[in-house]
Structures are given as C-alpha cells and as structure tokens.
Amino acid sequence: MPAARRPGHSFPSRARGPQLAQVERQAPVPATGKRLDGIRLGRITGGQRRSCEEDVIGVGMRLGDLLVRVGLVTEQDVTKALARQTEFGGRLGENLVVTGAIQREVLEAFIHRIPSEPANIAATGIDESELLSLLMKLIYSGRLESTRQFVDAIKLPYVIVLDLIQMAVDRQLVRTLGARDPDSLVDMRYVLTEEGRRWTVDALERVGYVGPAPVTLDQFTEQVSLQKPTNEIISFDRIRESFRGLTFDDSIVEQCGPAVNSGRAMLLYGPPGNGKSSVAHCLGSVFSDVIYVPYAFSIDGQIIRVHDPSVHVPISSEPVSDQPTHSFLRNEQYDARWMPCRRPFVLTGGELTLEMLDLRYDADGHFYEAPMHLKALGGCFVIDDFGRQLVSPTNLLNRWIVPLESRVDYLKLHTGKTFSIPFEELIIFSTNLDPEDLMDTAFLRRLPYKIEVGAPSPENYWNIFKNECDRRGLQLPREVFESIVLKITEEKGLELAAYHPRFIVDQVAATCRFMGQPPHFEARFIEYAINNLRVKPSKAGAKTASTAAKV
C-alpha cells in the first residue's frame, strides 16, 4: 500500500500530473549539427550523453536528497526504488510511487514547489546579453577554462551554457583550446581573447556582480508564495522535541504552537534571563521543510543578491569533481540557480537600524545586497532585545506595520523604482521591557500572540539546577538547593531566574578549580557566586534611598 501523507506537512493543492514528468526530465544535450567554435559536433554518442548528464548537470539539485531531508521517504526507500529503476527503467519518482514509498499526489505537490530547470535562454527570464556578460565575468574573475567549470559557476544547464559560449565565440571573445578528453564534451577548454578581456573589464565596470545567474523578480515572488512557513503544520510533539534540553512548562509550548502555525507575529516578553531568546531559537529550528533560495534576482537590469552563507544552510552541497560522481541519491536535476536550504533563522539585536531594513546599494559594484528580513523569507526573523535598538521603538514599529498587516513589503531601488515582495516569514519580537511602555495599543493589536516567558516554578528551578550540576559533575543535596534559593530570594531580594543555576554552578566550579579542589558546593563558594548575581548597592546610594524614603 502507498505510504500515507506524513503528518506535519501540507503542500499547495494546484500540482498537476504533467508537472512530475516535466520537472523530472533530464536536461537535454546538444542536438545533431550544433556548431561550437567553428567545429561541427555531429551526433553525440551514448558515452558523451552520460558524461553530459552525470558530470555537468551534477551541480543541480537531487530529488532523492530532498525527499529524504523532509522525511517523506527514507534512504532505504530510495535504494529500493533505484534497484527497481535499474531493472525496469523509468524515473526515480515513478519508481518511488510504484514501490509504495510515497503517494503520487504527495510527490507531485512536493515537486510542484521545486524550481524547474530552464530549457533555453528565454526560459531563464534574463536577457541573453546579461547572461553572456555574467559568464564572461565569471571566466575572467575565476580563471575558468572548461565547460564543466562554466556550468558550475553560472548554475545554468549545459545546453544554455553552450549557447552562451557560441555567442562568445561568434563575437571573438573566447577561443577554443581543445578538450582534455576527446570523448567528453564537458572538458572542452577555452581562453579569453584580448578583445574578450577588454569587453569583460568594461562589463565589470558597469555591473560588478559576479556569481550564479539571477532569477527574475516574478520567479522569486512566486517561489516565496509557494514556500510559506504556514505550509508546514507544526505539532505539539515537534515543538516539545525542539525544546529538548530546556526546561519549560508545557503552557509555553501550547501558546507557541498556534502562533507558529498561524504565521502571524508574536511577542515574547518577561524578565531577563528566563529563556526568551532560547524559545525563539527553538521555534526557528522546529521546521523540517525544504525551501529554495536564489543566489540573486534581477529587476529592470538591477541585481539584488539574496543568498547569504551565514543565513542559508544548504541541504546538501557536494562539489563537482573532475571525475563522474555516482551517488545513490543523484537522479533528476533542477534549476541550480536556486539552493535547497533549511528555513532560515535570522536574529538581530540592539544593532538593528532602519537602514538595515532597506536594500543596500554597492556604489562601486553597482548591485544590491538584500536586507536581512528579505533573506529570512520563508523562515524566522527575530528582533531580540526589542526596545534597546539605536532606532526608537516607535520608528521601528512604524516600519513593520504595513508588512505585518498586509503580508507585503515594499523596497526601493536607487533609481526611484519601488517594487513589492511577499512578506512570508515568522516575525518574533523579544523584550524584557514592559510592552505597554514600548508600543501603543494599535500596534499591540497587530501582534496577536503575546507570550510571557516568566520566572521558572520552584520545581522547574530544581530541575534546571540538577541538570547543570550533572553537566559539571557536582552533587546537589536538597538542603544546599534550598539554602541557595533562600539566599537569592530573601537575602538578595531577587526573583528566581532560569539563568541562575548555570551561572552559580559555573562560578562554583571555577572557584574549585582555582583552589585545586574537586567540584563541590561549599558555603563560601556559593556566597561568592550569588554575590556576582547582583552588584552591591553603594553606601551613598543606600543613604540617598533612605533620605528619599523619609521625604
């Protein structure tokens, strides 16, 4: 029997059967009679065809990897499907369906969200002159020689790169050096001509972007809409699992779950040191779905770089070697201009300014860097320590009112042109200040989920302390724990906080190490640690407070 849809995943409902066949096809190879640098290629042999498909197009994405990553199939399912494929032929997806590893409609819905590989230059949506310019800059900057290297650098299919090379040859920008392997077209080598060098230097002065080919704004916005965080349904168990290693009441999980599934903004508030940032990190890691992030997108000839290695964690990244690479998961290939990633998680703090929420124009390179919240599309964007930014809370909130309400954000180019993008990401505000002092009721209304992360209960405080002692190899008698609680609450007048146990245990362990003693609790060591929780008030301050009280 086919496997049922896996709980926790939902997909757009507009997938169609033909889409499966369209996206799973192998990239075509040059047709008979194609000319390259004045050399007639003739009919491609079976060996050359396999070389083109396995070596060059290997820079693309792999269906098996992605299905395993999101948990729709297992590696054993893929191995079984590949064994059947060897015996009966067909595509990997079809064999997965036949072997019962996945239902056809689930597979088609998943494939529907994968960017299809462009069949020709027109299908890229980018002008051929821009693609030629980009390829020449990549060759010049990276000292590239072979067709294999060109494909890997520009992230376009082999046949499109062949067309661009032919254009370069016709314009006498490159010349052929020959092939290392006469049986492999992908090892054909080229070198820039003097005219090609001059032409490329001029291109670099006009636009300094050097990287994979961009997608169009329309392609980008369509893909963002296909991979909303709300497409993935998060269960109580998944959030509870993401909190593993942390001690929170289940009430926190019960409040966070609906907020995550709604895709609406949430506010985490409460006294410092109780795990608001930890909750935000856990919520950012609760997703298991795959999204596709472009290296860059283009609008009116302007390049906006999106991909950021510090934000976008790839699902799999295997370099293309000079020899054929055989992976049991390598099969159908897709548009390599998009990188399959985990949903991004971006954390900002007091350094956040309004300028960081706008496009950053590189006046020397003549291209743009996307703002952080655009890089976080499809994922989670956290504004930590809200209220302590350089920009006032009011100005920052005004910047977010329209995107939070309409789910659309507007960005402006230096030319004055304004364009819109879907605002599909989970926004989390985190603060230890009083929310009513930071924002008015109108904005509080736009934050439908307000979750207090308060002081731990005595039971949770004990559990946190026990975990920290186990981590450092200390014994914690109950009477020692109770004396610590008494000193903190009664003598110091502090409220219990979740950060106290680790702080105290680390300080006691450090003192023991300094004294050359094994880790253990001792009255004076505990006193030293608790004293470091808070600065003692000065005598002048105490006297001023006493005078003020009398007045």
Which among 408, 388, 291 is positioned nearest to 345, based on CA atoms?
Answer: 291
Which pLDDT score is estimated for 538?
Answer: 55
Write down the domain spans for the chain.
17-33+41-112, 121-213, 230-314+333-452, 458-531
- Both tokens assigned to 182: 């006469």
- pLDDT at residue number 178: 81
Place 326 in a pLDDT band, splitting at 50, 70 and 90: very low
Q: Which residues pair with 215 in a beta bridge?
A: 297
Q: Residue 143: exposed, middle, or buried by beta-carbon count in 10 A (0-12, 13-18, 19+)?
A: exposed
The residue-averaged pLDDT of 527-544 equals 72
- The predicted pLDDT at position 35 comes to 33
- Residue 241 identity (one-letter amino acid): E
Across 121-130, average pLDDT: 95
Asked if the model's pLDDT at residue 41 lies above 60, the reply is no
On whether the CB atoms of residues 200 and 137 are closer than 8 A, the answer is yes
83-97, 269-283, 526-540: least confident range: 526-540
For the residues 83-87, what does the mean pLDDT come to?
88
Identify the bridge partners of residue 430 per DSSP, sorted by sequence position. Answer: 268
CA pair distance 85, 95, nearest whole angstrom? 6
CATH superfamily of 230-314+333-452: P-loop containing nucleotide triphosphate hydrolases (3.40.50.300)
Confidence band of 23 (pLDDT split at 50, 70, 90):
very low
- Position 334 scores a pLDDT of 80
**How far is residue 182's CA from residue 202's CA, in Å, rounded to a whole number?**
34
> Strands 367-369 and 302-305, how do they pair?
parallel
CATH number of 458-531: 1.10.8
Report pLDDT for 108: 86
Tokens matching residue 59 = 């820079």
Tokens read off for 117 = 């590989």
- The arithmetic mean of pLDDT across residues 221-235, rounded, is 92
- pLDDT range class, residue 375, cuts 50, 70, 90: very high
At 52, the pLDDT band (50, 70, 90 cuts) reads very low
Residue with tokens 């919520």, as numbered in its chain: 283
Give the residue carrying structure tokens 């856990």.
282
Strand order across the 367-369 sheet? 215-216, 296-299, 302-305, 367-369, 360-362
- Hey, what CATH topology would domain 121-213 get? Arc Repressor Mutant, subunit A (1.10.10)
Question: Can you give 299-335 as a three-state secondary structure string?
Answer: ECCEEEECCCCCCCCECCCCCCCCCCCCCCCCCCCCC
For residue 193, give the nearest of 176, 180, 210 by alpha carbon: 176
**CA–CA separation, 73 vs 88, rounded Å?**
20
